[in-house]
Structure 1
Amino acid sequence: MSAALQLQDSRERFYDRLMPESIITPNHDWLACMLASWCDGAGVLPDYLGLEPQHFKVLTNHYFPSVNFPEQAPSGSKLDYSRMLEKDDLVNLLKLYSKETPETDWMIAIIVAGSLGSDHLWQDLGLWSRPQLSAMLHYNFPELAAKNNKDMKWKKFLYKQLCEAEGIYVCRAPSCEVCIDYPKCFGAED
């Protein structure tokens, strides 16, 4: 059996143990996917999923009260700390498009931590597919997600939003459609 299939199988078994009969909110399901991956060493999320320790405890007790999670990332963190300069800007961008709730604040912290990884955002978060990430962003940040009307890769889209907010336009082409890097921004994320 390939390593990818073993990871998927192990992750899915852990996910099945996490999910009760009823789902509290759609975030409940996505968090279960991310935690199953995180506990299996997939993704790049750091200790406490990038949350403050007390917030991690509240989140896990709220959604998964009968499960004891490790506090430290089982695989060790694989974050690109050179992107830390934009961390506050990314938090502020996501807050601008969200409702002020503890659940949304948790999701913002986790998304920002995942944004420091070097793969596609859905992979760095430990989600199982790009459509899961799209649904999660549309649920938590509907107005921001709607701006991605050409289906740009999410991490590129978020950082492009930061650049545009600062009036920085680094693209060489007058529009994405004529850019030679189009496949890097809009191609498949397998």
Structure 2
Amino acid sequence: MTMLAPPHELMAGARLAPAAETVYLAIRAEQTPRALAAPFTAHILACMLTISIVEAHESGEPLSASLGLDRRALDFLTAQWAPGARRFIDLDGEPERLSLDEEETQVLDLLTRFKSDSAPLSAWIASIVARRAMSPRHLWQDLGLIERAELTRLMSEWFPALAAANVDNMKWKKFFYRQLCELEGFSLCAAPTCRECGDFDNCFGEEDGASALARLAQR
């Protein structure tokens, strides 16, 4: 099998960056018993890996910079759920430890506090969501998901108590920061209620747009 050049050896915008469809289909083609038993989880992991792999190859940075997992976590995750992703990854080039800035640390702490269980996969998903939440688009797009409904299902399955608190269906990134503010004991804004806020659509409006993977596929 021909190996692609590892991400850290590629310059930004390199032509050898794999196509999103190629990565996703390669991941989904190799189904582990875990993946077969939990198809939705396998799908969202494939989406997260795909968008992060493509971005890593384009930027020339290690996959960890896009995905938020260190070498050990990435090794276990791909072995258990997505062995097909390994053809696009240089594990030796991935760091043993990650550094997180204060903002990402706070989001990760929030997700960790509300994760569904203590299994490694829950921690890995929390780390991925926290890292991808640092990107500029809607969170479902930053995770490479097909639509926002997939993110809502992800949150309900992996962070059920946190998801249940989003009773008004606030945009997820906005909701994370509101929760962080409330945990610190202060309000995110001065409006008496969300309905009376002049910036209502910024927090609750439609999260339209194409899937990030669809846009990548069109390049």
TM-score by length of 2: 0.70
Q: Alignment partner for residue 15 of structure 1, among 19, 24, 27? A: 24
Matching residue of 1:28 = 42
What's the CA shift string for 1:126-150, capped at 9, x where partnerless? 2222111111111101111011111
**Distance in 1, Cα, partners of 2:181 & 2:79:** 37
**Distance in 2, Cα, partners of 1:102 & 1:182:** 37
Matching residue of 1:92 = 109
Distance 1:131-1:46 versus aligned 2 partners, 3 A rule: farther
Matched, 1:101 2:114: no
**Distance in 2, Cα, partners of 1:13 & 1:177:** 44
**Distance in 2, Cα, partners of 1:148 & 1:57:** 33
Matching residue of 1:75 = none
**Distance in 2, Cα, partners of 1:51 & 1:35:** 11
Distance 1:97-1:46 versus aligned 2 partners, 3 A rule: farther
Matching residue's letter, 2:185: G
Q: Residue 41 of structure 1: SS of its match in structure 2?
A: helix
Q: Structure 1 residue 113: deviation in Å?
A: 0.3
* Runs of 4 or more above 6 Å deviation: none
Matching residue's letter, 2:26: R
Distance 1:71-1:121 versus aligned 2 partners, 3 A rule: farther
1:162-177 to 2 correspondences below 5 Å? 162-177=180-195
Q: Structure 1 residue 11: deviation in Å?
A: 3.1
Q: Structure 1 residue 46: deviation in Å?
A: 6.8
**Distance in 1, Cα, partners of 2:20 & 2:201:** 30
**Contact 1:153/1:185, CA 8 A, preserved across alignment:** yes
**Contact 1:37/1:127, CA 8 A, preserved across alignment:** no
**Distance in 2, Cα, partners of 1:32 & 1:64:** 7
Matched, 1:139 2:152: no
**Distance in 1, Cα, partners of 2:48 & 2:202:** 25
**Alignment RMSD:** 2.5
**Distance in 1, Cα, partners of 2:113 & 2:53:** 31
Matching residue of 2:10 = none
**Contact 2:20/2:50, CA 8 A, preserved across alignment:** yes
**Distance in 2, Cα, partners of 1:67 & 1:114:** 18
What's the CA shift string for 1:106-126, capped at 9, x where partnerless? 001101101111221112222
Q: Residue 39 of structure 1: SS of its match in structure 2?
A: helix
TM-score by length of 1: 0.79
What's the CA shift string for 1:31-74, capped at 9, x where partnerless? 111222223339x99723111111111101111224423249xx
Matching residue's letter, 1:17: A
Matched, 1:47 2:63: yes
Q: Identity of aligned pairs, percent? A: 36
Q: Residue 54 of structure 1: SS of its match in structure 2?
A: helix
**Contact 2:106/2:180, CA 8 A, preserved across alignment:** yes
Distance 1:185-1:46 versus aligned 2 partners, 3 A rule: farther
Q: Structure 1 residue 179: deviation in Å?
A: 0.6
Matched, 1:70 2:89: yes
**Distance in 1, Cα, partners of 2:178 & 2:24:** 33
